[in-house]
Amino acid sequence: MKAPRDDHGRNVREEPMNVKNIVRRLTGAVKNGVVWGATWFALAFGTLLGLRTMGVVVPPEIGVLDAIGMAIRVGIVGGVAGGTFALFISRQYRGRRLSDIDPVRFGFAGAVVSELFMLAFFAIGPLVSGDGFPALGDILSDLVIAAAFGGVAAGASLWLAQRGDTSSLGGSDEHERLHAGPAPRGAEDVHRPHVRARR
């Protein structure tokens, strides 16, 4: 079996699935869920107020408290979607440096995962109750919003992490990698400071 490789063709060591690594991944998923939840809440709240001000889609009877309540529900869904996305990138982007990841492609991946999550969300409930999958016209706006919010949350979080504190994606790391796996072979020595031997 061939060893997994990164985008540059370098071998990436497999990370053993021990308790420490499992806890680390779950912790990263929770942190990412919080970031996504807050992002989706802010985007939903701003979108609702903006549409209400313009008199489009949102009726004028919707007040600020109503918008907050609706944005909280959207934020909860976004938090769960963010945790799901974190588990996805822990496998897909294992061992890659933040600087090697394209924010646009990363954002697109976030949009796709959010879309699939929403489809599963709308499918599970009706299938359990026996009502069948809802009509596409009834959930189309939710699917569009989920893809847009997921793409923005993923792309923006990576863009900010590449330019500042990497904890936005689950914690700082001496090799500036996602906490999804070890560095490629040989990368450990690249940033190791040279220590002169005492005479």
The answer to the question of residue 107 being in a domain is yes
Establish if 21 belongs to a structural domain.
Answer: no
- Predicted confidence (pLDDT) per residue in 49-62, tens digit: 988 888 777 888 88
Domain-embedded: residue 150: yes
Which pTM does this prediction carry?
A: 0.66
Number of domains in the chain: 1
Classify residue 191: in a domain, yes or no. no
- Please say if the pLDDT value at position 193 is more than 50: no
Q: Are 12 and 6 in contact (CB under 8 A)?
A: yes
pLDDT at 72: 95
Cα separations in angstroms, 101 against 2, 8, 96, 147, 154:
23, 11, 7, 20, 12
- Assigned domain for 7 exists: no
Q: pLDDT digit string (tens) for 95-142?
A: 778 888 888 889 999 999 999 998 888 888 777 777 777 787 878 888
Q: Report if residue 51 sits inside a domain.
A: yes
Owning domain of residue 129: 34-166
The pLDDT tens digits of the residues spanning 5-36 come to 555 555 545 555 677 888 888 888 898 899 99
Residue 161, SS3 per DSSP: helix
The DSSP result for 177-191, as a single string, is B-TTSPPBTTGGGTS
DSSP 8-state assignment for residue 94: T
Is residue 156 in some structural domain?
yes
Confirm whether 9 is domain-assigned: no
